[in-house]
Chain A
Amino acid sequence: MSRSSMWEAVGGIVRRDLLLAMRRRSDAAMSVFFLVIVVSLFPLGVGPEPAVLRTIGPGVLWVAALLACLLSLARVFTADYVDGTLEQMVLVPQPLAVLVVGKVFAHWVISGLPIVLLSPLLGLQFGLSGESLGVLVMSLLLGTPTLSMIGTIGAALVLGVRGSGLLVALLVLPLYVPVLIFGAGAVTGSMAGIGAEANLSLLGACLVLSLFLAPWATAAALRIALE
């Protein structure tokens, strides 16, 4: 199949998923609300001490973003699996891994990008400085697509499996550890004045690596799920 028809297929998937998200805006809003609520709980639990909040801020924001990404994973393939669209996707004359990238991109735009855009506001609640807020946005911008890429492997593995919601968390969270470390590390680093560049480059490396490897694993998992 030619290159242009491949773009046609990937573009078709992205357009369709974004259109579906427009029709059901509440779905996209949910992960954002979740993020806001989780982040707001921490000061209530830890106490309003500004110095403490500033110390735990990057970690809290990153863990909350990670959990919000995790919760949105169930939506990536489940609807397609139930209504039969996934079968059609697998039987398309393009490499499935490439279509998966389209799926993940659409998913990230719907549930990852809002998190990135909202994060400076939440960072202010924790007393992060202007420069650190910039690093926070940058780290989430590099990190959340990686979380989506890795997460879809888990989402594909548990398709149609009983108790899949909890199972996907158990499978995916250990895989999220490096992204969490580099992401929160970048913000902490900028606050401590030792710079965020190294951590941000490592986040970028994680993104590239996941972009090359994760779609293949996801494609294999989808084929297995449909057998």
Chain B
Amino acid sequence: MLQAVTLSCRRGERRLFSDLTIKVEPGTLLAVVGENGSGKTSLLRIFSSLLPPDEGSILWDGEDIHQLKELYSGQLTYIGHLNGIKDDLTPLENVMSAINLTGEACSRTAAQEALEAIGLKRPVHRLPSKVLSQGQKRRVALARLWLSTRPLWLLDEPFTSLDAASTGVVTQRLHAHLQRGGLAVIVTHQEVDLPVERVQRLRLTG
């Protein structure tokens, strides 16, 4: 279970949000919505432990994530608004090195299956990523979701530059993750097509 307790965040002079308390239960998703600059991404980065909150804390199963440190990192998969892929590497190499980085082994077949699951065909796997379109690059980044065994997913605008079909595939993957008892926090400005009882919406007003 993921909890935010009396969080507040300032960026420079601006107060983005304060006294924010919210709870995400296993099997549910928190969709953070709001205008540009309302602090959605900052909130997600606070959840990921990249950004320390100005006040308040994040609890994972009741323990402060800044105490848990690497133990908490081992619980989450974070895909920010930057894709984290290298232009000089092929999609296949990108997926494999991203998984290797987390300290897990990743076979070539597993990576290929993940890329196919998100709709990238075999010939594309061997092209350098710099020739891919924005949507294809986003899909390379999201392919990690098919290899992730982590209970908590933190996704920043996962559907940006994706076509309707890919959006559907990613939503299905999210649904499967929630059904297995996983948690997710996503930042989005789109409606998420998931059963109502699984989705909690948080609107930041800035």
Contact = CB atoms under 8 A, between A and B. Distances in A.
Q: Please say whether the chains A and B touch (CB closer than 8 A).
A: yes
Interface in A10-31: 11-13, 15-16, 19-20, 23-24
A211 B62 CA distance: 36
B4 to A, nearest CB: 18
A217 B52 CA distance: 18
Contacts of A64: none
Interface size class of A (residues with CB under 8 A): 20 to 34
A91 B156 CA distance: 15
Contacts, number: 87
B50 A91 contact: yes
B70 interface: yes
A84 B82 contact: yes
B73 interface: yes
B105 A8 contact: yes
B190 interface: no
B86 A83 contact: yes
A93 B71 contact: yes
Contact of A5 (B71, B81, B103): B103
A12 B100 contact: yes
A83 B78 contact: no
B82 A9 contact: no
Interface in B45-97: 48-52, 70-71, 73-74, 76, 78, 80-89, 93, 97
Given A1-B70, A83-B87, A87-B78, A94 B103 contact: yes
A52 to B, nearest CB: 45
Contact of B70 (A8, A82, A87, A95): A95
B197 to A, nearest CB: 30
A95 B1 CA distance: 24
A90 B48 CA distance: 10
A89 B101 contact: yes
A205 to B, nearest CB: 30
Interface of B: 48-52, 70-71, 73-74, 76, 78, 80-89, 93, 97-98, 100-105, 128
7 nearest CB pairs, A to B: A84-B82, A12-B100, A5-B103, A93-B74, A84-B84, A23-B88, A9-B103
